[in-house]
């Protein structure tokens, strides 16, 4: 099934989505091909009205394109939740859940906004090495994940962010999961500590990144995604560049979440035909193809946000 969907504005061009559904045992792939045309008169995100601040992040040298989201965690209408890719596929076995696109998980939970989270390992079954991730793959996080005070992944390591019963966020090591906590997810390392970038050697790979930070003593959440692996669009960031950027954005503490092809920021759009869940960024999977495409990589868990108000019904 092939269709065209208008996504919004990127740079000076109107971007549409060429959606190709490959039906089979692994479900579907969401493929986005950039097509340019006249810029519409409005630079607003069409169909998006959320009680949070969503801003484009754009630089010319180096070439960076991304998004910054600021969320007031004291908003009484806000719900912060963990979205799971699917049911445990093997009970007491080694796997915890299955992979699913961030947009599909967000649709299942009716999230207004969602991002990918943890680093993970998946079972590739009998597929070529080039096909590394497919919807429905059994998967397991490599660091701690918890929901409603219950541990889903007990693996140690990484740098967690915890949301308490009032949605307030804290970043730092955990000796135990508080029974009244709502969500805990982990990145691979902390990149901002007490308002300063953590010392990270310069250099390294520039790649797509997802990061999350806290400000105002845990009352504000700052989400940052940067596209990469597309030199004409965005080259991505090193970890040192990411740490400095999150510091410049005002984070008191911040962690690096899973990046690369996993980096996805999804927002619920209201259209005449009903709600649609679309990535705002340009996921990097597919950039290596002869005709570059953007394929949304399936993931095991997402961090979702939903406002119980009439702002974005």
- Interval 65-100: pLDDT, tens: 999 999 999 999 999 999 999 999 999 999 999 999
Task: Output the CA–CA distances (angstroms, integers) from residue 58 to 39, 87, 103, 155, in the order listed.
Answer: 17, 38, 23, 36
Tokens found for residue 273: 């035909």
pLDDT at residue 61 above 90?
yes
Buried b (16+ CB within 10 A) or exposed e, 257-270: bbbbbbbbbbbbbe
User: In this structure, is residue 72 part of a structural domain?
Assistant: yes
pLDDT at residue 246 above 90?
yes
Note the pLDDT of residue 35.
33
User: In this structure, is residue 209 part of a structural domain?
Assistant: yes
Mean pLDDT value of segment 215-231: 97
User: In this structure, is residue 175 part of a structural domain?
Assistant: yes
Total-model pTM: 0.85
- Only one residue has tokens 């995100």, namely 45
Mean pLDDT value of segment 37-66: 77
The answer for residues whose C-beta is within 8 angstroms of residue 63's C-beta and 6 or more apart is 231, 232, 233, 234, 235
User: In this structure, is residue 7 part of a structural domain?
Assistant: no
Secondary-structure breakdown of the chain: helix, strand, coil percentages, each rounded to the nearest 5 = 5, 40, 50
Which of 2-16, 181-195, 206-220, 263-277 bottoms out in mean pLDDT, i.e. has the lowest? 2-16
* pLDDT category of residue 4 using cuts at 50, 70 and 90: very low
3-state secondary structure of 1: coil
User: In this structure, is residue 149 part of a structural domain?
Assistant: yes
Q: What is the DSSP letter of 285?
A: B
Range of the domain at 109: 45-281+297-307
- Only one residue has tokens 């596209």, namely 227
Note the pLDDT of residue 157.
78
User: In this structure, is residue 23 part of a structural domain?
Assistant: no
In terms of C-beta density within 10 A (0-12 exposed, 13-18 middle, 19 or more buried), how is residue 135 classed? buried
Note the pLDDT of residue 209.
98
Tokens found for residue 107: 């649709």
Question: pLDDT tens, 125-165?
Answer: 777 766 789 999 999 999 999 999 999 998 877 899 999 99
Q: Find out whether the peptide bond into 121 is cis, omega within 30 degrees of 0.
A: no
- Only one residue has tokens 């953007």, namely 294
User: In this structure, is residue 180 part of a structural domain?
Assistant: yes
Domain count, the chain: 1
* pLDDT category of residue 44 using cuts at 50, 70 and 90: low
User: In this structure, is residue 18 part of a structural domain?
Assistant: no
């Amino acid at each position: 099934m092939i269709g065209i969907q208008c996504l919004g504005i990127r740079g000076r061009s109107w971007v549409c989505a060429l959606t190709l559904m490959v039906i089979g045992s692994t479900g579907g792939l969401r493929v986005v091909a950039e097509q340019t045309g006249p810029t519409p008169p409005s630079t607003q995100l069409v169909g998006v009205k959320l009680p949070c601040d969503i801003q484009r992040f754009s630089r010319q040298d180096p070439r960076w394109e991304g998004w910054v989201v600021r969320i007031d965690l004291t908003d009484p209408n806000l719900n912060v939740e963990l979205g799971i890719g699917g049911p445990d596929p093997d009970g007491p076995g080694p796997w915890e859940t299955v992979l699913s696109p961030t947009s599909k998980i967000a649709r299942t939970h009716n999230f207004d906004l969602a991002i990918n989270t943890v680093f993970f390992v998946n079972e590739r079954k009998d597929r070529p090495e080039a096909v590394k991730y497919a919807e429905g793959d059994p998967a397991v996080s490599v660091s701690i994940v918890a929901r409603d005070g219950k541990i889903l992944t007990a693996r140690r390591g990484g740098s967690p962010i915890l949301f308490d019963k009032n949605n307030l966020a804290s970043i730092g090591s955990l000796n135990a999961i508080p029974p009244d906590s709502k969500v805990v997810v982990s990145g691979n390392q902390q990149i901002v500590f007490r308002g300063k970038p953590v010392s990270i050697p310069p250099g390294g790979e520039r790649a797509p990144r997802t990061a999350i930070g806290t400000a105002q003593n845990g009352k504000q959440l700052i989400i940052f995604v940067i596209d990469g692996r597309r030199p004409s669009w965005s080259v991505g960031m090193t970890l040192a560049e990411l740490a400095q950027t999150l510091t410049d954005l005002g984070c008191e503490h911040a962690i690096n979440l899973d990046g690369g092809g996993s980096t996805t920021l999804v927002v619920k759009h209201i259209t005449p035909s009903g709600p649609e869940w679309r990535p705002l960024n340009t996921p990097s999977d597919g950039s290596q193809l002869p005709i570059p495409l953007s394929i949304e990589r399936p993931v095991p868990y997402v961090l979702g946000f939903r406002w119980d108000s009439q702002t974005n019904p």
